[in-house]
Amino acid sequence: MNKFYQIWKKFGQNFQEGGKFAKLSSFYDAFDTFLFTPDATAKRNGSHIHDGRDSKRTMILVVIALIPALLFGMFNVGYQHLLATGQLAAISELTCPLFWKAFGFGTLAVLPYLIVAYVVGLGIEFTVAQIKHEEVAEGFLVTGFIIPLIVPINTPLWQVAIAVAFAVIFAKEVFGGTGYNIFNVALITRAFLFFAYPSHMTGDEPFVRIGSTFGWDGGQLVEGYTCATPLTQLGTGTPVSQSFWDMANGLIPGSVGETCIWAILLGGLLLICTGVASWKTMLATFVGGALTAILFNRFGAESNLAAQYPWYMHLVSGGFAFGAVFMATDPVTSARTECGKWIYGFLIGLVAVLVRVLNPGYPEGMMLAILLMNAFAPLIDWCVVQVNINKRAKRVAK
């Protein structure tokens, strides 16, 4: 390993100022800091922590935490396909060959979304870094992994490419790049898709070809099945047939990584144990959603199915849990003060349930709730700081 490191560093001299590849220094730096712990400390003004743990290591921990949701999502895509094509009637009939058939189909369906997200997003980031002669930002390591998990599997790849490009340019780079963006880039991607191409995001198109490119299933043209999610049914006035355990176990229609609560919570536990994400934000989001739903259960109109939807069902439906664990806790776009994290998370849960109940046209709610609170996070922190300053000033005056 030491010998490889020496060879790599010697090769890197070609990318330094005066070297033959100096114009591509950002590319070398990106791979160098990804493969090895950096031997340099932060140089920007205002940096106070100078050690070997850089942001890329933190981002990789988040990616690892997302893997259980990705793997289950791949299986669920294939499982829903088997159900739709009549090859399977229930999970109890699942055999080992059918399991691998489902997982294989789902893997081939989901991988192109990962590839498109990373190729487009990192392509833009590398290009911008070269133009500005800066280091390649590491934030898209997580963003590119999250995007395929929060979009329906029937979304055309060209639409995903356009949405990723829009989000990276207009929600990130125009603000100054990683660490300066106001809104969560992955959620801006989903928001762009929702408002630009709503039919693919709501389950209104039940059958879409996604497997024929790979010749899967014996070389036959395969149609991937998507249908209305439980929240979509609720928004249209149709009672939800799935139980709490059906929703928690995740074998239901929905975005790739948002259905299995156990996989999401497993990833959340890793983030909390490693100190990467704030448990306060997570807990406050669930508490805010639960209390708001309880109030609607008690005082909401009986004719409004969303208002009478049990509070615990709200927490396991749609993207609520995924958003609370992986996106509300984004360190760049969320509140940073300890008290502010409680307020920020609570308001996300509150707004998410409000949107679900009061806006039948958009039954999900979590995306808009997080984006809205992204905008208010700096104000929340400012208010918390001012309150603390005033308290200290009063103590000094005494």
With a cut of 60, say whether residue 330 has pLDDT above it.
yes
Q: Is the pLDDT of residue 382 over 80?
A: yes
The span from the CA of 26 to the CA of 197, in Å, is 35
Residue 96 lies in a domain: yes
Q: Which residues of 181-195 are buried (b: 16+ CB within 10 A; e: fewer)?
A: bebbbbbbbbbbbbe
Q: What is the pLDDT of residue 326?
A: 95
Residue 214 in this model has a pLDDT that exceeds 60: no
Average pLDDT value for the chain = 82
pLDDT value for 43: 54
Name the domain count of the chain: 1
Residue 59 has pLDDT above 90, yes or no: no
Domain assignment present for 104: yes
Residue 146 has pLDDT above 90, yes or no: yes
Domain-embedded: residue 14:
no
Domain range for 116: 57-379
Lowest-pLDDT range, 28-42, 304-318, 362-376? 28-42
Helix runs in the chain, H state only? 2-12, 25-35, 55-84, 96-132, 140-146, 157-170, 185-196, 198-202, 230-235, 244-249, 261-273, 279-299, 311-316, 320-322, 338-358, 366-397
Domain assignment present for 222: yes
* pLDDT at position 85 over 90: no
Would you say residue 218 lies in a domain?
yes
397 falls within a domain = no
Q: Are strands 223-225 and 207-209 parallel, antiparallel or unpaired?
A: antiparallel
Q: For residue range 229-264, what is the model confidence (pLDDT) as tens digits?
A: 677 767 666 777 788 898 899 998 888 999 999 999
Query: 100 and 108 in contact (C-beta within 8 Å)?
Result: no
Q: Assess if residue 27 is contained within a domain.
A: no
Within-domain flag for 140 = yes
